[in-house]
Structure 1
């Protein structure tokens, strides 16, 4: 079933949240478009700021000082601003206190940098329902968040956590690509367990590792190629007694990718 993309779910949910909380402000680094629901509902709290460079950070600082909750959606490409490197743009906004939304394509190079930011929850939700829940949580929280959301067509990624059958492995999915691959592998081998990570920052990943450690055995992580190694390193350091393997999840996984997951689980 096709649902809203991560970005569209974010825009829709933030618009609803802003109807209940007048402190919520939306800033986008792309050129203004007519179909933005937040602008239509709350034009006095929406700002389209392409190519603004450090001005965006200054606006975030001012909004925070005035008691607002700024959400900054960073658009990939030239709209991120020519005066400031993309990494500096989202990093400076986070440090100024904004919740930043960025694309999976522009994010992985900065994973370690976000991870080291103390007190910044890092979320990579999957599917419309999970994305909406993460946006609501970020709006309620006093902390700035980093949300990694895609622009592509959404897909229903509903799933239920499951413990593995005896003598089988557990899949740990990260991101939309990783979750699609894990679900496809479980459809082929229902006995596999499945745990799904939404938050990847140091504090919340450590808490998740405590839960994961209650089941000892092999784990196979499925995640986008550029994200896989950092996640593997983080989990292996927290689960030293377990075998933690990884399989890269391409944008469009096929049968060969599923077989690679099954082979890793059986190894």
Structure 2
């Protein structure tokens, strides 16, 4: 496995960052206007997050920092880490404009322990749409374990691996078109659009992505010394993942129009080290 996927994916995210910052779907204006505003993703997770006051937390693959700043607004002392310098430029700008005391560090997620230090954090947070960019979920779990102090927690909300298998281009039925399990070679996509409302088009359109089965994710965490403390599957996801087959609810979560009980769309996983 070469590191070519990092170069391609970083170029893609560098180009997305200013588009996302300007998109109404990231609600930057509300962050600026409302000191207590939280991202929709974090608000969805509030019943499971628990009390974050005083916790030292790190948000892996933090992108433009809206979830990171939301966690800081809930009382955690947050650090955000991402490999995209353009994303971090937007995150630092938002933190500066909102007065959020958040550190943002540029590094690949697999280098997080060397970049941030071992066993420094009470909380590792990974938000939705992150794991698909990583070729090895075991290496990710090893990184999480390395960052957490004994007794520290992982909080993960992700798109469900069953959702990632569905071919979004077939609109009259649910059709499995992509792998469920982790593969040695990536899925290669070339899409000049992104997942939020924007008029821009991407020039750096090629990405390399991987799916990871739910059992693979849980097994990787167990193998690296974490204990599962919660696993909740959801019938919704915070973007229109299957155009033409989904409807948006009042919380800006998308679910299947017909028989939403057929397939989980996202999940929340919690685990403790030691």
Normalised by the length of structure 1, the TM-score is: 0.37
More strand by share: 2
Q: Based on CA coordinates, which of the two structures has the bigger radius of gyration?
A: 1
Normalising to structure 2: TM-score of the pair? Answer: 0.36
